[in-house]
Amino acid sequence: MAGYRPFIIQVIGALTVLLTAAATVPAIAGSQAFDPPEVIGIPGGAFVAGSDRAEREAAYGLDEAAYGHSRTREGRWYEGERPRGGVTLPAYDITRTAITNRLYAAFVASTGHPAPDVDPRTWAGYGLIHPYERTRRHAWQAGRPPAGREDHPVVLVSHEDAQAFAAWLSAETGRRWRLPSALEWEKAARGVEGRRFPWGDGWDPERLNSHDRGPFDTLPVGAFPAGASPYGLLDPAGQVFEWTASPAGEGRYLVKGGSWDDSGCGVCRPAAQHSRPQALKHILIGFRLIVE
């Protein structure tokens, strides 16, 4: 047996070298550790969706008091809302907050997907009221989110970007992630009783990130716990609008939730909705996901 000792020592030495080398090999280019987003359960069953005449009139009144004009009423902004009534949905799990820059960065690093940004010509083509310079605080540099905004909701993402992120997260976790339908989003945001706002029927600007009390900018997700829905959904009103899976004409999808740019805030009600082009990359629009 003594004759085998040098050979055994050589084998152990070789294995030690291999294991040491393996431990020092850098991670695959572009990979980045991440924690899947926290989700909350929405039980199956009926809830009150949509709005009635009284709710829409109250929403117009809030806008008029905040802005000093009647443009939302004149433009009939809330007339396309679903008529108030019961809707039954199966149970589902939805992310407690909008997807953050931090989590989206793991997707960008892993896949090489273009980071959130928009060029001046494209922005001008949208015809939005926000100047291009305002997009720069949200734009990423060298594939990284703006410093200090890692826990803000990701914006400047199109509907296609949101779907690509969901497909990546599905592959990474082995579970199917997808955008919520407008009705799934609405139930998670208002509960079963048909509240006008996530917290109740009364308007309270202290419960959300809107232009009434906010900094006219995004904030870290969950900064307004008092504005949570009955299920614990955070930032369902204000902060950013959110893409849904519900189409609204060719190449357009419904968005829900209101934003930091809004005052009033009739558009921040869970029943409120409007459509945006699927390719739009807006500083006011992010997204959250459902997992199956």
pLDDT value of residue 14:
37
pLDDT value of residue 34:
85
* Residue 157 CB partners (closer than 8 Å, separation 6+): 104, 116, 165, 243, 281, 285, 286, 287
pLDDT value of residue 50:
98
State the Cα–Cα distance between residues 213 and 186, nearest whole angstrom.
24
Summarize pLDDT for 69-112 with one digit per residue, the tens: 999 999 999 999 999 999 999 999 999 999 999 999 999 999 99
DSSP string computed for 109-159? HHH-PPPS---HHHHHHHT-SS-GGGGGGT--BTTBPPTT-TTSBP-S--H
Contact 277, 123 (CB under 8 A): no
Instruction: Decide if pLDDT at 20 tops 80.
Output: no
Instruction: Decide if pLDDT at 261 tops 90.
Output: yes
CA separation (Å) from 19 to 7, 10, 16, 27, 171? Answer: 18, 14, 5, 15, 29
Please compute the mean of the pLDDT values over residues 259-266 and round it to a whole number: 96
Residue 224, helix vs strand vs coil? coil
Residue 64, helix vs strand vs coil? helix
CATH number of 30-291: 3.90.1580.10
State the Cα–Cα distance between residues 255 and 275, nearest whole angstrom.
6
pLDDT value of residue 236:
98
User: Please, which pLDDT band fits residue 32 given cuts at 50, 70 and 90?
Assistant: low
pLDDT value of residue 189:
98
Mean pLDDT of the chain: 91
pLDDT value of residue 73:
97
Domain residues of the chain, as ranges? 30-291
pLDDT value of residue 29:
32
Better-scored residue on pLDDT, 289 or 19:
289
Contact 219, 245 (CB under 8 A): no
State the Cα–Cα distance between residues 36 and 152, nearest whole angstrom.
16
- Least Cα distance to 214 among 281, 284, 269 occurs for 284
Write out the E strands in 43-127: 45-49, 85-89, 92-95
Residue 19, helix vs strand vs coil? helix
* CA 59 distance to own-chain centroid: 24
Q: Which residues pair with 92 in a beta bridge?
A: 42
